[in-house]
Amino acid sequence: MSFDSASSAASDRQTAGGPGISRTSQAVALTRAALVRPHSAEGDPDAQRALCAGLTLVPPASLRPSIEARTRFMDDQVVTAVRRGVRQVVILGAGLDDRALRFRTGGVQFFELDHPATQADKARRLRAMGAAGPTLAACDFESDSIVDVLAACGHTLAWATLFLCEGLLVYLDRRACLRLLAGAASCAAPGSALAASLATYESPAPAAEVVAAANARRRSAAAEPWRTILPREEHLALLADAGWTVTAVTESPSALDDVSHGRGSLLVAAAPALTAGPGVGAER
Ligand SMILES: C[S@@+](CC[C@H](N)C(=O)[O-])C[C@H]1O[C@@H](n2cnc3c(N)ncnc32)[C@H](O)[C@@H]1O
């Protein structure tokens, strides 16, 4: 499915900045644009700022510590993977992620998946920059199979892939998280890796109560509600159920000043489980 031909409920979402364009991705990108970060020899160190051209949103300063930690972690995963010869990077829920340009490297292909309106906006921005780079694909992880989407956009199943899943899973319901992660695992040749951020909590409260309390504190909850916040061990178990073996876990600062239920965020690296079967959503 190409980014301009997709039709889904996603395109009906309305947010400021254009119908259906993710405002949370803009807030993250604007915050990231102010950070000092590495880049590859061929990469564009100004890419994040250029991708944010014309955005008027002012992200809350409280976002910075969590985005800084997340960015460092994800950048490091990309640099490490490329260094050890991984030739495909799939960015799930990419928004205005600049890594395809920042870490541009001959022979490495970046694939970016997100909602149609957000992808159309990204494509316009890339054109305005005159920047060739990522392959953009439009999809809705709540209803589409990434196995099909990746097959249609030229992902090579036999080659190792780094999957980035930054600031995304919290926006999907639990079933969609499992399906997405299992789909990625089924496309993960030996040598592949996953880097993901997970929203967690520590309290005996049911997850639905925690999610409701968290959304009540967020201005962007109406357009882009959080859906999956789980106890730490349960979230890590979800990754295992989807066919990933966790190799590293780091605590990240919270994205909000005002948290309840011991909410936190984990940055996780994982490898495809050796014994993983085809898994949910593995149609290819
Ligand atoms: C908080 S933003 C993070 C963007 C990017 N990963 C980053 O860190 O800059 C969440 C992104 O996930 C995308 N997203 C959320 N739910 C989605 C879904 N069901 N299908 C496709 N993309 C989705 C949004 O459009 C948005 O771009």
- d(Cα 21, Cα 93) in Å, to the nearest integer? 12
**Residue in 58, 57, 39 with CA at minimum distance from that of residue 48:** 39
- Does 167 contact ligand 1 (Cβ within 6 A)? yes
User: pLDDT confidence of 131, banded at 50, 70, 90?
Assistant: confident
147 in any annotated domain: yes
Residue 68: predicted pLDDT: 96
Query: How many Å lie between the centroid of ligand 1 and the Cα of residue 94?
Result: 6
**Strand 264-272 and strand 193-201: pairing?**
antiparallel
Burial per residue of 250-270, b for 16 or more beta-carbon CB atoms within 10 angstroms, e otherwise: eebbbbeeeeebebbbbbbbb
CATH of the domain at 145: 3.40.50.150
Give the ligand 1 atom nearest the CA of 25: 2
- Within a 10 A sphere around the Cβ of 233, how many other Cβ atoms? 9
**Mean pLDDT of all residues in the chain?**
89
**Tens digit of each residue's pLDDT (9 = 90 or more) over 211-245:** 999 999 888 898 999 999 999 999 999 999 999 99
- Beta carbon of 22 within 6 Å of any ligand 1 atom: yes
Instruction: Report whether pLDDT(53) > 50.
Output: yes
Tell me whether residue 141 is in a domain.
yes
Q: Identify the residue whose C-alpha is closest to ligand 1 atom 12.
A: 93
Is residue 241 assigned to a domain? Answer: yes
Phi and psi based region of residue 121 (left: phi greater than 0; alpha: psi -120 to 50; beta: remaining)? alpha
Residue 41's φ and ψ, nearest 5 degrees, are -60, -40
Q: 5 Cβ partners below 8 Å, 6+ apart?
A: 138
Nearest CA to ligand 1 atom 11: 93
The answer to the question of residue 278 being in a domain is: no
Sequence-ordered list of residues with C-beta below 8 angstroms from that of 125, at least 6 positions apart, any chain: 50, 51, 53, 96
Read off the pLDDT of residues 88-126 as tens digits, 9 standing for 90 and up: 999 999 999 999 999 999 999 999 999 999 999 999 999
How many domains are contained in the chain? 1
Residue 222 lies in a domain: yes
Residue range of the domain that includes 238: 9-272
Question: 272 CB less than 6 Å from ligand 1?
Answer: no
DSSP 7-58: --GGGG--BTTBTT--HHHHHHHHHHHTS-----TTS-TTHHHHHTTT----
Does the pLDDT of residue 86 top 90, yes or no? yes
| Structural domain includes residue 281 | no
Cβ–Cβ < 8 Å for 176, 142: yes
- What does each C-alpha distance from 186 to 88, 181, 246, 248, 271 come to in angstroms? 15, 9, 16, 21, 12
Query: What confidence score (pLDDT) does residue 12 get?
Result: 29
Ligand 1 pocket residue status of 146, Cβ below 6 Å: no
- Residue 19 within any structural domain of the chain: yes
175 domain-assigned: yes
Residue 18: per-residue pLDDT: 67
pLDDT score recorded for residue 217: 85
94 lines ligand 1 (CB under 6 A): yes
Per residue in 4-39, pLDDT (tens digit) is 222 232 332 333 356 689 999 999 999 999 999 999
25 Cβ below 6 A of ligand 1: yes
Collapsing DSSP states into helix, strand and coil, what is residue 269? strand
